[in-house]
Amino acid sequence: MAFTFIHAADLHIDSPLAGLGVKDRSIAALFARAGRRAVEALIDETIAAKASFLLVCGDIFDGDWKDATTGLFFIRQLGRLEQAGIATFIVNGNHDAASLMSRSLPYPESAKVFSARAAQSHRIEELRVCLHGRSFPERLVAKDFLSSYPPRHEGYFNIGLLHTALDGARGHESYAPCTVEDLARFGYDYWALGHVHAAEEVCRDPWVVYPGNIQGRNVRETGAKGAMRVTVSDGRVVEAQRIALDAARWASASVDVAGCEDEAEISARMEAQLAMEYSGAEGRPLAARLTLRGETPLHARLVARREELEEEARAIAFRISGELWVERLKLDTRPRAAPRCADPEGDALDVEALIAAASEDPEFSAVLAELTAQIAEKLPPALREGAPRNPEGLAQLALEARDRLLGELRSGSGEP
């Protein structure tokens, strides 16, 4: 007997995208709609694939809803599956744990939500499939969370649904911590995981799979996002295929400006990189972060003009497509040699040395720390985290000030 199922996780329906909203309302609107469009694409794909069932492994929502429309949207999508005769099996994760949700709406009968008290098993007799899962009762769960899962049901294809970061080695908080060896002891044929937003085929014996989230939410979640389409034949997985469902995409790219002698050349390189990134988005709206890297005599001037250069990059992007946005332009360039400027009296004035000496002065450091703290307190919460506070961050701020000053001085003298 052969059948197909879809494995998805981390829908984060109506998750906010505040970072883009501050900068460009029209682009923000495209990305705000993308989350729901990705869910619709998930349902479309499940129906088109004639899947026997859909698995959703946690974090359907981003937390308690602001209003009922979020829940109603999801129920409407599940209703489409019920009308197509397709069952849905759900475990809630840390973002939609029972303790965080003050509202609920009745799901269709075809949608089964696993209990948060202990693991449950649901069998699909006509397919000889047994599914085991447990929802999060609260955001943080005890280390023995997995221990309530039952052993495999012999004579069935066994699937475990679990929201976990495994051993926490994937850059995520350690929710429901466990190892692949812990999972293998249950004897299940396929572990459908959620929580980690990057797709990963962790293991094939047994199958342990993260599908990733279905829609990237920020520049740390780049590339295609979607779900897994899994085909089972004669009690074993014969294919697990990644399917893209995202309605908008993020990219983070480097532009090599080493050796560039003028800004026109840098602009041309940015345009070439942006065109390549947009081509890779396959017709979707794209928000890209560009980082200029390399050793260039223009380093100080680039630092001095970073904001202008960022707006120029955005204009270049809009020439390529009205749905291409430069989320941010970062600089990771280096000067060829320490530049020197001349003062009006004709004496050599080593600005770099002066600022370096000032940055080592305890009084200068104290004033800089106080000023940055005052500015940080006035920033919106979303931007406050990026404000430099530690000594390393303040030292970097002083270096940037040096480069900005040098850039302004060289611009004023007519140098490139």
Task: Report residue 17: phi and psi, to 5°.
Answer: -125, 65
pLDDT of residue 143: 74
What is the rounded CA–CA span in Å between residue 255 and residue 257?
A: 6
Name which of 153, 111, 150, 115 is nearest 134 in CA terms.
115
- For the chain, domains (ranges, CATH) are 2-244 (3.60.21.10), 248-337 (no CATH), 341-416 (no CATH)
pLDDT of residue 24: 79
* Helical H segments across 342-389, by residue range: 351-359, 362-378, 381-384
The Cα-based distances of 366 to 37, 358, 376 in angstroms read 50, 11, 15
To the nearest 10°, report the CA torsion of 26, 27, 32, 37. Answer: 100
pLDDT of residue 137: 83
CB atoms within 10 A of CB 85: 10
Residues of the chain with pLDDT under 70: 18-19, 21-22, 99-102, 139-140, 142, 168-174, 337-371, 374, 376, 378-416
Pair type for strands 207-210 and 190-194: parallel
pLDDT of residue 296: 94
pLDDT in tens, 226-248: 999 999 999 999 999 999 999 99
Cβ burial, residue 346 (10 Å; 0-12/13-18/19+): exposed
pLDDT of residue 204: 97
What is the rounded CA–CA span in Å between residue 164 and residue 93?
A: 8
pLDDT in tens, 295-336: 999 999 999 999 999 999 999 999 999 999 999 999 999 997
Q: Number of C-alpha atoms within 13 angstroms, CB side, residue 72?
A: 4
DSSP symbol at 277? H
Q: Please list, in sequence order, all residues whose beta carbon lies within 8 angstroms of the beta carbon of residue 167, skipping any fewer than 6 positions away.
A: 174, 177, 178, 179
CB of 11 within 8 A of CB of 60?
A: yes
Name which of 122, 151, 123, 119 is nearest 135 in CA terms.
119
DSSP symbol at 61? B
Work out whether the CA dihedral 79, 85, 86, 90 comes out positive or negative. positive
pLDDT in tens, 5-30: 999 999 999 987 766 766 778 888 88
Q: What is the pTM of this model?
A: 0.81
Q: In what order do the strands lie in the sheet with 120-124?
A: 120-124, 129-133, 157-163, 190-194, 207-210, 200-204
Q: Is the bond into 285 cis (omega within 30 degrees of 0)?
A: no
The Cα-based distances of 346 to 5, 128, 276, 403 in angstroms read 77, 89, 48, 22
> In 3-state terms, what secondary structure has residue 155?
coil
CB of 88 within 8 A of CB of 110?
A: yes
Pair type for strands 190-194 and 200-204: unpaired
What is the rounded CA–CA span in Å between residue 81 and residue 88?
A: 8
